[in-house]
Amino acid sequence: MKNTKIGRLLLFFALLPLCMIVGCGKEKEEYTKTGEAEFTVVEEADLPKELLDVIKEKKSEPFKLTYKAEDALYLAKGYGEQPSGGYSIAVEELFTAKEGLCFKTTLIGPAADEKVTTAVTYPYIVVKLMPMETDVHFLE
């Protein structure tokens, strides 16, 4: 009986560092804003065909995409399958930082009293910017 208690204690102390490592995640990255990024939200009808094809392929799951055309840089973020209509997406932030371009959006669900379609939807947003060579960071 004594060996069982000692064995459990040894196992506990052996696994404790592993639990501490797993519990410690990477801290949320901070970006220092250096400027504003001018953008326009692009309607589906105005998207380049290649980008629209990729979005249609990936829309059932959450996604983050960048697409570079000769005349523009497109940033797209999708929220995957949603159970109804009535969803919208707000651009919270889109700014330049020394680390690159930072893009943050929020999915807004339908109001409790809003009448919405019961069909499954796949909300996403695409913004268009001037072309630039930089890293893009999708913020949560």
Q: Is residue 24 part of a domain?
A: no
Residue keyed to tokens 């932030």 = 93
pTM, 2 dp: 0.77
Report yes or no on 56 lying in a domain.
Answer: yes
The helix (H) or strand (E) run that includes residue 129 is: strand 124-129
Instruction: Indicate the number of domains in the chain.
Output: 1
Question: What's the pLDDT band for 58 if we cut at 50, 70, 90?
Answer: very high
Asked whether residue 11 carries a pLDDT value surpassing 50, the answer given is: no
Residue 15 neighbours by CB distance under 10 Å = 10
**Local confidence band at 97 (pLDDT 50, 70, 90 cut-offs):** very high
Share of the chain above pLDDT 90, in %: 67
5 domain residue, yes or no: no
User: What kind and span of H or E run contains 8?
Assistant: helix 2-23
Question: Would you say 74 and 136 are in contact if contact means Cβ atoms under 8 Å apart?
Answer: no
What residues make up the domain containing 43? 29-139
Strands 33-36 and 73-79: unpaired
